[in-house]
Amino acid sequence: MTRECVVALAATPVALGALSSRLSRHAAVRLAPAAATVLLTAFALTVALSTGLLLCLAAVIALAETPGLSGLSHWSPGELRAVVPVPAEAGAVGGVLAAVLLASAAVHLARTVRDARRASAVAASLPRSGGGLSVMENDAVIAYTIPGRHRRIVVSTGMLRSLSAVQRRALLAHETSHLRHRHHRYVQLARLAAAANPLVRPVSRAVDLAVERWADENAAVEVGDRRTVAHALAAAALASAAPGPAPPAGSLGGARTGVADRVGFLLRPPVRHRLAYALVTAGIVLCWTATCVAVGHIHGLMELAEA
């Protein structure tokens, strides 16, 4: 395999990450919401993990070419520089970048765990009005879902007064969908991938939209009318524009996430394109294939460079 081929394979995750903005938007619009959520989350994790793995490999090569460390694994620094198509300087930069991205992911993960614990404590302190529903006596328009051990759907009396009976049913069906399908896990994984690789931030935002669309579609099935859900969403979004208490970090609240797009999706017939499924799936497969081939090839070269 030529040096140019190895470089092209190693650059594939970066290229896919750079294209993720357009790809994620296309998938979020053209895929069924549930499929979009799963595939986009997998795509974000794939790009982040592949990029991190290749950066770490570059750092290993840079360390292996260091005379003081090459002897530990019986590598010949001169032979290694001759056969492995990664300059030591590039490997060192890759190692620093990998460390920075890993630290970013670790900080984000710690923050996510902290927020989840705080949200769970808030949920445990709320009164239960039946099942997992908690109704707050508050004139502000509030509706959100707290996942986790103490799962709650939190709705204010102000929100309930702003909606009709059938719209309240749609709201509760939407929030119940978040809990039933554990949407927070997809959101958290996509955001973790974005923390580990800023190139996939558009994918993370697309996952946020996809889980809300997923819940919208479930609510439409529950009430039997997509237009009713669209009206309930628009009414909740307009009412929640007024200031009020912020939901705890780690909760899911959809009244401010892509409302205009979601209302539009509900008011027109669903559009499904097989090409969108193929594009996202092909991106995932291509990314892992390129990463595995590049890692396997460089590993073989490093074995050849053993003294």
Question: What residues make up the domain containing 260?
Answer: 10-304
- Give a yes or no: residue 123 inside a domain: yes
Report pLDDT for 189.
Answer: 95
Q: Name the band, by pLDDT with cuts 50, 70 and 90, for residue 134.
A: confident
The residues that bridge with 143 in the sheet, in sequence order, are 155
In whole angstroms, give the CA distance from residue 146 to residue 37.
Answer: 19
Element spanning 220, H or E: helix 201-223
- Give a yes or no: residue 133 inside a domain: yes
Nearest to 41 by CA among 20, 56, 55: 20
Average pLDDT estimate for 121-150: 80
Report pLDDT for 68.
Answer: 57
In whole angstroms, give the CA distance from residue 58 to residue 62.
Answer: 6
Report pLDDT for 269.
Answer: 78
- Give a yes or no: residue 140 inside a domain: yes
Report pLDDT for 218.
Answer: 92
- Give a yes or no: residue 4 inside a domain: no
pTM: 0.86
In whole angstroms, give the CA distance from residue 249 to residue 112.
Answer: 9
Number of domains in the chain: 1
- Give a yes or no: residue 14 inside a domain: yes
- Give a yes or no: residue 241 inside a domain: yes
In whole angstroms, give the CA distance from residue 151 to residue 137.
Answer: 19
- Give a yes or no: residue 5 inside a domain: no
- Give a yes or no: residue 95 inside a domain: yes
Cα-Cα-Cα-Cα torsion 49, 50, 51, 53, nearest 10 degrees, comes to 80
Q: Per-residue pLDDT tens for 199-216?
A: 999 999 999 999 999 999
Task: For residue 58, give every residue at least 6 positions away whose Cβ sits within 8 Å of its Cβ, in sequence order, or none.
Answer: 86, 90, 91, 93, 94, 95, 98
98 in Cβ contact with 55 (< 8 Å): yes
Whether the predicted pLDDT of 250 surpasses 80: no
Element spanning 28, H or E: helix 20-30
